[in-house]
Amino acid sequence: MVITKDLVCLNRPERTKEAILDALCAKAVEAGRIADVQGYREAVAKREEEFSTALGYLVALPHGQSDAVTTPFVAVATTSEAFRWDDRSENLVRLVFMIGVPLKNRENTHLRILANISRKLMEDEFREKLLSLNDTEEAFALLSSIEA
Amino acid sequence: MKIVGVTACPTGIAHTYMAQAALIKKGKELGHQVAIETQGSMGIESELKRSEIRDADIVVLAVGCAVEGLERFEGKRILKIEVSEAISHPNRVYEKILEIVAKESK
C-alpha cells in the first residue's frame, strides 16, 4: 500500500509549506516510511527549487527521491484554509500530497500508483470531493479507490 | 485538430503524469484528438504510434529534461513548453497551438 490511513489527515491548521511538511513528515516517520527525515526534506527542498510543486487547482505535490525513504508512500493533508505555498507563485494550496520514493528498491507497481494519483488530481470532481470530506476513513476510502 | 505530445520532468514521478492528464482533458473539451506519451519513472508509456505522429497537426513537448526519440518529430511543427505550463494553464497551451497552426496554414 502506498497510502495508508495513518498517512491521511484532514482540515489541518498549518498555514505554511514548512509547517505542513513537518506535520506530514511526522506522520510518515510514525508509519515507518521515512528513516531519515533530514535526508528526505533535503530531497524535497531540492525538487521544489527546480520548480514549485504548487501548480494551481489548490494542490501541491512536494516529492523527494531519496534512500531516506524506506517504502514508497503518499501522505495526504487537507488544510482548513487555503494558504500560499511559496513566494514563487500566487498559487494557493489546500490539498497537499507529499510523495516519497526510494532510489533503490523501486517497484513499478508503486510508481504506477503514484502516476495514477497524479493524473487523478487533475479531475475537478475528485479534488472537490476530497476537500469536502471531514472523516479520515472516508477520505482514505476515496484515495484507496485510485490505487486499484 | 490532431495533436501528439510528450511529457517528461526531472523526477518523472508526478508532474509528467499530471501534464499528460491536463493536456488530454483540455484537448478533449476543445474537441481535439490528443495522444500524449509519458517519459517518466517507468520509462516510455503510451508510446506514440507512427501513424499518430504522421497525422498530427502539431507536436507538443512539455518537457523539463532530455527526452528520447525526438527524431520521430523531424519535419513536424513543434511547440515546446514548460511542464508547469501544461498543468497550470492547458487552455493557454491550446491557444498557442491554434495560433501556430493558423499562422503556418496561411
What CATH number corresponds to the domain at position A143?
3.40.930.10
Cα–Cα distance, B12 to B7 (Å, whole number): 9
Confidence of residue B80 (pLDDT cuts 50, 70, 90): very high
In the residue annotation, A110 being an active-site residue is answered as no
Closest residue in chain B to residue A116, using alpha carbons only: B17
Residue A99 contacts B, CB cutoff 8 Å: yes
Residue A56 to residues A76, A82, A84, A90, B35, Cα–Cα distance (Å):
17, 12, 11, 9, 23
Confidence of residue A148 (pLDDT cuts 50, 70, 90): low
Domain that holds residue A57: 5-147
- For A38-42, A143-147, B40-44, which range has the lowest pLDDT when averaged over its residues? A143-147
Q: Over the range A62-86, which residues count as b (16 or more CB within 10 Å of their CB) and which as e?
A: bbbbbebbbbbbbbbbbbeeebebe
Total domains, chain A = 1
ipTM of the complex model = 0.91
Residue A79 contacts B, CB cutoff 8 Å: no
**Across the A/B interface, how many CB contacts are shorter than 8 Å?**
76
Q: Tell me how close the Cα of A119 comes to any Cα of chain B, in angstroms.
A: 5
Would you state the pLDDT for residue B106?
67
Active site residues of B: 9
Confidence of residue A53 (pLDDT cuts 50, 70, 90): very high
Superfamily of domain B2-105: Response regulator (3.40.50.2300)
- Beta-carbon separation of A119 and B13 below 8 A: no
- Beta-carbon separation of B18 and A99 below 8 A: no
- Taking only the tens place, the pLDDT of each residue in B20-46 is 999 999 999 999 999 999 999 999 999
